[in-house]
Chain A
């Protein structure tokens, strides 16, 4: 079983490497291979404890690859990959909700909402546009991440990234303070760079509705530069 985990970790590493080189097909191929391994492990009589968190993570990575791929394209192809991204995040979210407190994560929870904004920024309007539950989902996500940053995720840089993104999408006045807390944790540069790959496209499609996105991008770019 530990060998399975090692294989999954290696496939994820390979996928991230391909993703960073914009080799989308290779990245998705590795992640699909990882999903197959996880399904085989899931079918065994004693499924390992790491299974749920790895499912959530691999689907999250898949969502990220599809999102970046989609953002590199235009028109229908762009929308097709962004939809695939949201579907992957939704699948990851199903697993993410089953995680134990010690493994708590909100990556899929946040990015499934970000993906919907990228598909159609009008969902940020008061009535939620095509996604009426958007406001409730954002509010719920904020509550959960705030609670986690007070407890099990006090030192998890991703928690503050997720919190900042959610608060920006909600139009909270102190949204940028989450990124100041992130700076205090002195995370590795890739944390900023990864968050920027989420915020920059959001800024492009939603800065009219959420003007703080512009400032957030500038703030994170400065932090990323300092951390390199």
Chain B
């Protein structure tokens, strides 16, 4: 599929007509996945690009391991907009469907659970241009409007607070990211689990299904991926889920992880023509970059014993300590991610008055008089509705008082915020107009008085700028 050509077409076609496309390059930056994992330098550059790209279009056809790894990194670094595209049909009536849909080629069970809830667009040359434009435009609009918008899992879960019982559990357990195929599960229970316990000082291996957190499974998993000091990743089976989770771990934890793989999956396996398929090139490069320890399933102890012993004894305080034999230094991905993360966009930095305003607008919308339909679930309950009105008033009052406090500091940045101050004053004053509480009436008078003093100044300034 000519994904790059189609993306370039959309970027060019809507560049001058739609606001969200204006600041974008007309030519997309293309990162072939083989290049991305070819060297440490390329990997670092790719991680940086994943953090900075406003839009990411990923070809997830066949859920190749390296693509999933990169999506895992992206899901830690950006809230959106990330669009997954597949050449294979996940099915059907809609141009873009959740991956829970039935598919003749991609059965739900084969779809990585991490992306099952993600919208994936089928590449149909006849409709793809419009489908992609719609997905990009909707994604950007949702991202701007909804502070909880996500188009990949993990972003919020890895930012969850450390669990209450973390200190107790972390000292005696380790996280295992691995396949859940029946064969592997049998091997895990019969062989691997006891080996891990035996050579890590009896630490308890915890797979996704073993986590006891009351949170949703996916959320609990990513919480552990972030907070577990020790994480073992078994690449056996080259499962897409595992590589997505590995990407998440690399990006959000500075602790050295241990990668392992069974011998049969670690060997290159050229096809009948002798030429290696592209996805095997990908596997080779990933092995070179991250160096999993290879073990024989018939005798895993032989290869894993010493490495598990050394790994479990590593100091968690020193990032420089590592047993990795691979070129990618310990914590390198995390450090690159930390340096590249666009922290200016982090919602934790939202100004108090903006947070308050957004919260108020979530309750009554931006213009309640124009759209009086109730937005909050169960708000037809009269008592709830009364409290919602009071909450909205409270939030506007707080926003106004905060901005007034900033303005009274008389700093340059506060003066630059005057337009915002006046806007918040107007909206607060209007919100208070429906209350006959004496304190609200008094505050409304104060705000009106403030607005009157600003009116002539604004007019004079506007007049000045017009003539200038």
Contact = CB atoms under 8 A, between A and B. Distances in A.
A158 interface: yes
B367 A156 contact: no
B373 A46 contact: no
Interface in B16-64: 16-19, 22
A10 B372 contact: no
A7 B16 contact: no
Interface residues of A, number: 30
Nearest to B21: A46
Nearest to B22: A46
B369 interface: yes
Interface residues of B, number: 28
A155 interface: yes
B162 interface: no
B19 A48 contact: yes
A10 B426 contact: yes
Interface in A1-15: 1-3, 6-7, 9-14
B427 A187 contact: no
Interface in A182-210: 185-188, 190-191, 194
Contact of B426 (A13, A45, A46, A191): A13
A188 B61 CA distance: 51
Contacts of A1: 19
B368 interface: yes
B355 to A, nearest CB: 15
A10 B17 contact: no
Given A45-B16, A156-B373, A187-B372, A14 B434 contact: no
A57 interface: yes
A5 to B, nearest CB: 8
Contact of B423 (A7, A20, A194): A7
A166 B454 CA distance: 42
Most buried by B among A13, A20, A185: A13
B422 interface: yes
Interface of B: 16-19, 22, 144, 366-373, 380, 419-420, 422-424, 426-427, 429-431, 433-434, 451
Given A13-B426, A190-B372, 4 more contacts: A6-B420, A10-B422, A11-B426, A156-B371
